[in-house]
Structure 1
């Protein structure tokens, strides 16, 4: 399947969902894209750029105030009462409790959420990191209600987007806005700093419509315990925590996971995935049919400005 990074014979430079284990592969894409001039023109200073390049993420506490966050909950509450929406495929329920786990295509459901994707300062950072204009590849809210919210296993988003959506290169950034306090105990996102510098091939053939079960419990695309253990021993684990309104930016290939919420305090995070307009989706590299548009937008003409 041809793409700009193909090796001789048009082999996929990031093979995954394979029949036998393969060692981690060095990343063949830059972490921060674009020219030196583009990098210097953005709002992030040299130290922040160096940190993102090295660790694969940036944490910004207090990006929005509690007053700016509050109106989003009014819309979320209204969505929970919309039976047509909650019974649709783009709403994923918790496999244990049945509570809402994820709602996808948030920017298409709400003008308020859509406006947030165009926040001038955030968009300037995204352009700086991607070295180009961007569009929304995917948006979602991940919700862990008190005493109920289950976790998410270790994975790289790019591995799934490459295999099941046809994203050719590592040129996408996730922005996660904390709608509630992310505490030590309520299942904050955990990351392995530096893991974005290697691609982890995984074992197992991707069945048709894998998304219908993987969004509740991911079994494919999960690295082996041996590989995970080695990476975590070398790089450690971080779990950025802070008040509602904080922002986490992370590279599409960084390994991340989260534990179950065993507290009475909910954990709700909003995610916007920005993909470069120069990184258009191709046919899925797993050979399956493309996932639905609400999971992987192919409308890269919808450039954010």
Structure 2
């Protein structure tokens, strides 16, 4: 792809323990493994097909029939179900959280060329706390890049260290925010104001999760993050698995099960020959 990538490389960590230590200090970490071309091609083909389906789990861009995101497909697609059980992914989540985990949420965010819209600055835990009643942010997002991510196609951008600040700019309300689509569209119900995000960016710096398809990163539910419009000719699809600690499950969620899993049984790792992460280095 022709678009440039930032000159500061993502640091590489040799072990899962190194990655977990980096995560707790900075609110994010690169995984010590990546997915190869065959695994990425299998996932890319599958989620593209899923995004063409007409069902509630598929959210489209505003004013367009183009898929913006697909939710919860690990419950109705066997390849996605296999992905969430891979020992490398489960092991990273358990190393970060220090206990058994289950899949709280699964989604693929698409950024179609020249069309994929931005996600405003926000914290994921705002939704999980305020809407679902998740007791604490003892969960972790694991992001798998299905396309090359570069500065021009709207990469996920984090503000390192902001996971320690708690929830910011929550609106004062006594009821939940409304329809679940307010939580998955460009017009999010819970955001960090642009003014605060600018101050935090100046204080903490930014980290764009750029890199080749197959790259894997983890980030904290409370870290402030966003992404810009895709202004390039390259699609940017990002697959996100949220693992939650089994003892941190919301007691009575009301949003759809494809946004908030009801099955809180611990994931039992299982290899799959179609999906083979390989160590970095």
TM-score, normalising length: structure 2: 0.84
Q: Secondary structure at the match of 1:217?
A: coil
After TM superposition, the structure 1 stretch with the greater mean CA deviation from structure 2, 255-264 or 68-77, is 68-77
Structure 1: how far apart are the matches of 2:159 and 2:28? 10
The aligned residue for residue 272 of structure 2 is none
Matched, 1:280 2:249: yes
Counterpart pick for 1:103 among 45, 70, 76: 70
SS at match of 2:238: strand
When normalised by structure 1's length, the TM-score is 0.78
- Matching residue within 243, 266, 272 for 2:212: 243
| 4+ runs deviating over 4 angstroms | none
- Does residue 172 in structure 1 map to residue 144 in structure 2? no
CA contact (8 A) 1:60 1:248 kept: yes
Alignment pair present for 1:68 and 2:65:
no
How far 1:298 moved relative to its partner?
A: 2.4
In structure 2, the partner of 1:211 is 180
Counterpart in 1 of 2:113?
146
Aligned partner of 2:12 in structure 1 is none
Whether the aligned pair in 1 keeps the contact of 2:52 and 2:67 (CA below 8 Å) is no
CA displacement 1:221-271 (0-9 Å, x = unmatched)? 112233222221110111021110000111111111000101110000111
5+ residue gaps, structure 1, are 1-42, 285-289
| In structure 2, distance between residues paired with 1:62 and 1:128 | 14
Displacement, 1:136?
0.6
Q: Is the 8 A contact 1:104 1:295 kept in 2?
A: yes
Give the number of equivalent residue pairs: 253
Other-structure match for 1:262: 231
CA RMSD of aligned residues (A): 1.9
In 2, Cα distance between the equivalents of 1:54 and 1:62? Answer: 20
Q: Which residue of 1 aligns with 2:155?
A: 188
SS in 2 for 1:141: strand
- Ranges in structure 2 where 5+ consecutive residues have no aligned partner: 1-14, 270-281
CA contact (8 A) 1:141 1:268 kept: yes
Aligned to 1:16: none
Give 2:26's aligned residue: 55
How far the C-alpha of 1:100 sits from its partner, in A, is 0.3
